[in-house]
Structure 1
């Protein structure tokens, strides 16, 4: 059974603003809660694609994973930077095309450095079935919360949405610089 401390650590790390949470918030602002709900299984699937193998192989993988961390950080940083650039240049007249696509959520979450912490540190300290069940429930809960926050933002329509996209692009740009600095500094 996961300890309350591990459950709280997973929850707080999931709540931390990052690239995936930013995309979920933007989707909520752009399309609302109901239309954004299909992105939640995509986020969960991407996390599980990374977290499950890392958790199951945590002890065997730890020696070589340390060597891969800089490359993972650089790849993730470049992806987040490309997201920031695309968000900055989104046309206000993009028609019915949603700003946040399932593919963007999947790749962004797959490259999310939080997955390394979940898979190599937090979840290996739990019984696998219970840890994965807790993780799944918390991912869904937090994703809904970020979409709901985006939907509730007062500037979620018209010019306000464009300003929010630019602010999100700036935030993602800062996150990408941090990831790139970790990758090149290691």
Structure 2
């Protein structure tokens, strides 16, 4: 009888010491309108008291996530995905349940949409080919109203010799087209 009591005492002590103090959170993210899964969305778990990040995960290709090793406590779970409004849920992990399935979480598409996008390209001021180098002064505001000679003095690697000839990298074989 005494051996049975000692055995039960040791058994329950071991059971209490190895009890779960960590929980697992799972769920799946969907688009609220099309019901399609949202792969590679962000899931973050923040402390409820100070909103500090505890841990997080990214959903897989099927929109599922599983976050393990979360200490017991009260948390805010945030869900975010580009082009969708953020969502959040409160989670209280008390220790009785070690697996929390948040189920189907739906994110609504964001109402912000761009009306138009303008892509403006500019030609480079300096273009190089095998046999020539071109300089464009069309967008040079500082040279408006000046002469071509004044404009050429501002271009790097362009110099003038004593006779007034244009010299580019030490060569006087330069043609100026206006």
Structure 1 length as normaliser, TM-score? 0.20
Q: Which protein is bigger by CA-based radius of gyration?
A: 2
Which is bigger in relative contact order (C-alpha 8 A, separation at least 6)?
Answer: 1
Larger helix percent = 1
Structure 2 length as normaliser, TM-score? 0.21
